[in-house]
């Protein structure tokens, strides 16, 4: 069936409501729009769904959401009565249609005899991960598109360990979703009946309280906070998302008194009217927060994305540590943007060092990171005699490691981080947690403030200890069927004709995670990568440098990542600029 036939089917079928058909009739003369909406089904990837909101098979709507949910329900039912009886926890963020998609998901599960527990209002994604284990559920679903632009929404699936689905459950769920070929296979139930039968339930208020307590308990030197609270100023923005309530609550419990929330961005709003994209990676999203920071003389400025699993920060460089470098802010206030690799390393060093100093760092501790994150993470782990484990891109693989540690009684999870603005201290949840990151970074800032230092001073100390590890990234957006073909072409070219040098740095080895092989170019020895197969190419470079490329699993993008380790900040930044110029020639 071609895209025009699918379009006509939606207009003629009794399955779809009149509102959906009205939306589709409005594009009757736009063949390109019809093609984009119907040339394929919205892909259910290994984590779930993500796409533009709207009518069509390649869009996020009640029908595509419940069709995927029917596949999930079929898989849960295939596992037997115990799995069915455990139920599924559901949460949603501030995006448009999030409450509606969450309720539709719950009612579809209920129609399949599966009990659900849904939060009464928006909550952070990491709290959903926490709730899955707290409520002893078999699975969890959160409706979110994370940091994507306003027109997007998404659907992420978690399993009973609290982490996003990984093998074998991801592949099994994918198979069951694929078997739901028609929308009339989706079971439905009304809300009143679901409640009456005890299938549709609210998450108890106690889960919030327990989650907040876990966040506070991750601190190491919480006793210093009240001593410095009146002298330390924090600016925070939830970017119209879920972070507002939990962040304010935990900072209050820790004893911070000078916390300023950006008023224009405090309330939830799925249109994200003050930013082009609610992404804490983008400097433009910090414009209002930095203006407020200047006014109140803030020490640290923090922003969480809509589902509060990612955190971005700016730090006041009072002592001019980064003056004259690429990190220095060019505006008239001295705030430096820390990327996720810097933030992740800063927290890693603090947690490892202070836990060692307090005698609470276990001998079997483990630090986890992803293959496209800074190599500084491995250097820190080595310095503190921790097991270092590298995973595929995506925090779900770090969450999976925690499950393995529990099952095998092998290592104690200390910390996990990834380059896409996510980290986790402790194992109370199994996903990256921006609320937890706020807690830890606020404590770290307070710790250094007692010594007359800023987080910039702390970062410079890390560079002096380990070397100037600096990283960069470049994304190329290629939409539609033509874009998908171009992304495949780029990957095939790099795989067939591997590069041998990147910006003057020799390629010493190639890891092809799709083929599960690593080739050492000097010794010619070929070994397995040791990780699940994934469409990623990773080039190991001289001097602990690296270069990686992969297609995005959730967006129409191909992503390039790279990192270096040089003797000075200038050398590191110059080399990064060279690599970026090289990347542009590949795209």
In terms of Cα–Cα distance, which of 72, 79, 116, 119 is closest to 99? 119
Length of the chain in residues, anyone? 587
> How far apart are alpha carbons 530 and 183 in whole angstroms?
40
The answer to whether 513 and 536 have CB atoms below 8 angstroms apart is yes
Torsion of CA 425, 429, 434, 439, to 10 degrees: -50
The answer to whether 332 and 293 have CB atoms below 8 angstroms apart is no
> How far apart are alpha carbons 219 and 436 in whole angstroms?
9
- Classify 570 as helix, strand or coil: helix
Spatial neighbors of 254 by CB under 8 A, at least 6 apart, are 216, 219, 222, 225, 439, 442, 443
Q: Is residue 146 among the annotated active site residues?
A: yes
Catalytic: which of 94, 98, 146, 534?
146
Q: How far is CA 468 from CA 288, 540, 573, in A?
A: 31, 17, 9
> How far apart are alpha carbons 547 and 530 in whole angstroms?
19
- Per DSSP, 17 falls in state -
> How far apart are alpha carbons 439 and 520 in whole angstroms?
42
Strands, E assignment, 95-212: 116-118, 139-143, 152-159, 200-202
- Per DSSP, 429 falls in state S
For 81, counting Cβ atoms within 10 Å of its Cβ (0-12 exposed, 13-18 middle, 19+ buried), the class is: exposed
> Read out DSSP for 122-135?
---HHHHHHHHHHT
Count CA atoms closer than 13 A to 194's CA, side-chain side. Answer: 25
> How far apart are alpha carbons 48 and 69 in whole angstroms?
10
- Across 444-453, b (16+ Cβ under 10 Å) vs e yields bbbbbbeeeb
* Residue written as token pair 């910390």: 415
> How far apart are alpha carbons 540 and 562 in whole angstroms?
10
Q: How far is CA 382 from CA 232, 356, 376, 481, 507, in A?
A: 33, 13, 10, 45, 24
Spatial neighbors of 25 by CB under 8 A, at least 6 apart, are 11
Q: Is the peptide bond before 168 cis (omega within 30 degrees of 0)?
A: yes
Distance between the two ends of the chain, CA-based, in angstroms? 33
At residue 142, φ and ψ (nearest 5 deg) are: -125, 130
Write out the catalytic residue numbers: 146
């Amino acid at each position: 069936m071609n895209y025009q036939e699918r379009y006509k089917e939606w207009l003629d079928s009794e399955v779809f409501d009149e509102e959906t058909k009205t939306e589709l009739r409005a594009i009757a003369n736009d063949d390109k729009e019809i093609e984009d909406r119907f040339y394929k089904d919205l892909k259910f990837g290994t984590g779930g769904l993500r796409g533009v909101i709207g009518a069509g098979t390649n869009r996020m709507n009640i029908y595509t959401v419940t069709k995927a949910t029917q596949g999930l329900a079929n898989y849960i039912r295939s596992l037997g009565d115990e799995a069915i009886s455990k139920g599924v926890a559901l949460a949603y963020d501030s995006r448009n249609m999030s409450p509606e998609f969450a309720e539709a998901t719950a009612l579809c599960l209920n129609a399949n005899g599966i009990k659900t527990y849904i939060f009464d209002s928006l909550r952070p994604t990491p709290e959903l991960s926490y709730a899955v284990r707290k409520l002893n559920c078999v699975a969890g679903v959160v409706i979110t598109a994370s940091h994507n632009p306003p027109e997007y929404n998404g659907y992420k699936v978690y399993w009973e360990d609290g982490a996003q689905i990984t093998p074998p459950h991801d592949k099994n769920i994918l198979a069951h979703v694929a078997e739901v070929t028609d929308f009339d296979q989706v079971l439905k139930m009304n809300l009143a009946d679901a409640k009456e039968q005890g299938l549709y339930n609210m998450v108890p208020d106690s889960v919030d309280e327990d989650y907040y307590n876990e966040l506070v308990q991750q601190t190491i030197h919480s006793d210093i906070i009240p001593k410095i609270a009146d002298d330390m100023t924090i600016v925070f923005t939830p970017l119209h998302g879920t972070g507002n309530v939990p962040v304010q609550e935990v900072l209050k419990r820790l004893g911070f008194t000078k916390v300023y929330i950006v008023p224009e961005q405090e309330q939830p709003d799925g249109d994200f009217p003050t930013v082009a994209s609610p992404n804490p990676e983008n400097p433009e999203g910090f414009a209002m927060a930095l203006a407020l920071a200047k006014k109140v003389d803030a020490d640290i400025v923090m922003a969480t994305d809509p589902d509060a699993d990612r955190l971005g920060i700016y730090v006041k460089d009072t002592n001019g540590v980064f003056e004259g470098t690429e990190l220095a802010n060019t505006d008239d206030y001295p705030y430096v943007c820390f990327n996720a690799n810097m933030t992740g390393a800063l927290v890693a060093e603090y947690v490892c060092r202070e836990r060692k100093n307090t005698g609470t760092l276990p001998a079997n501790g483990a630090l986890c990171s992803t293959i496209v994150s800074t190599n500084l993470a491995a250097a820190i782990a080595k310095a503190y005699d921790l097991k270092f484990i590298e995973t595929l891109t995506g925090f779900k693989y770090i969450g999976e490691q925690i499950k393995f540690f529990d099952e095998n009684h092998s290592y104690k999870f200390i910390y996990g981080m990834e380059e896409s603005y996510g980290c986790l201290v402790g194992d109370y949840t199994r996903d990256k947690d921006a609320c937890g990151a706020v807690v830890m970074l606020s404590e770290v800032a307070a710790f250094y403030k007692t010594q007359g230092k800023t987080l910039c001073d702390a970062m410079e100390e890390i560079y002096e200890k380990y070397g100037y590890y600096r990283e960069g990234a470049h994304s190329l957006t290629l939409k539609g069927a033509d874009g998908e073909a171009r992304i495949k072409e780029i990957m095939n070219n790099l795989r067939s004709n591997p590069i041998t040098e990147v910006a003057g740095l020799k390629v010493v080895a190639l890891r092809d995670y799709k083929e599960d092989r690593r080739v050492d170019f000097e010794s010619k020895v070929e070994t397995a990568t040791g990780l699940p197969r994934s469409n990623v190419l990773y080039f190991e470079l001289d001097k602990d440098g690296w270069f990686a490329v992969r297609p995005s699993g959730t967006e129409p993008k191909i992503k390039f990542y790279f990192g270096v380790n040089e003797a000075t900040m200038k050398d590191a930044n110059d080399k990064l600029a060279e690599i970026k110029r090289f990347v542009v020639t590949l795209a």
